[in-house]
Amino acid sequence: MKPYALILGGSSGLGLATAHKLAAHNFNICIVHRDRKSSLPKLAEEVKKMKAHGVEVYTFNKDAMSSETYAEVVASLPDQSVSVLIHSVAKGSLKPMHTQQGPELSKQDFDLTIHSMATSWYEWTKLLLKQNKFSQDVRNIAFTSEGNTKVWPGYGAVSAAKVTLEALMRNMAVELASVGIKSNCIQAGTTQTASFAMIPGSDQLADAAAQRNPFQRMTTPQDVANVVYLLTREEAKWINGVILKVDGGESLR
């Protein structure tokens, strides 16, 4: 049986690029996403391309934070089949902490963002483990960003979520090692995705990133997907508990 890669938030951006990369390398793909009906035909075309590699591809257009979704998706997976779990959920508040116009960031915004973009990773991991869905060698990967230490406009709640995500990664790396789970975060460089475009001032951020990158370009989703694939290989089995920068050196400047 081919191994499964379960991708949370896999219908666009880093998650979709990762799905294509892993499908091309003989992984069955299970994508949990949340999209409007108007976006589904485009995703269906992407799924068709993945299936051309001779793998199975399943999609669930459901809320990845819902306990009902947890139960349905996990029940659909064969026992001991999941070798890769990817957390690529980009759902959170981009409200400012202080403004004279419009709403400001609230505790409820923080709670929603931290759950969606951080603690849900732990919940999915634990459920897959308890339901015996993980294989004996698991690569557990989540995406963080340079906003974990830098201040960007409207990024306060997401920044808090990324720091939480990284803390969870370190603890899972130690506490779940005994059951064969290797947990890591990828810190992608500035990447043009739908979620990035929603950040206030994203055009200026993109220009600045391209200028300070040693290669004078932004990171692409494919750059990130390539490194996800590397982390799934046998040779990467001793990488555990790290934040791996995939940015061409952008963060050095």
Q: Encoding tokens for residue 141?
A: 């990967």
Phi and psi at residue 98, to the nearest 5°: -145, 130
Provide the residue-wise pLDDT of the chain in tens; the chain has 253 residues.
Answer: 899 999 999 999 999 999 999 999 999 999 999 999 999 999 999 999 999 999 999 999 999 999 999 999 999 999 999 999 999 998 888 898 898 888 999 999 999 999 999 999 999 999 999 999 999 999 999 999 998 888 878 889 999 999 999 999 999 999 999 999 999 999 999 887 777 777 777 788 778 888 899 999 999 999 999 999 999 999 999 999 999 999 999 999 8
Round to whole Å and give the CA distance between 172 and 125: 9
Q: Which domains occur in the chain, in start order?
A: 4-246 (3.40.50.720)
* Gap between the Cα atoms of 40 and 35, Å rounded: 7
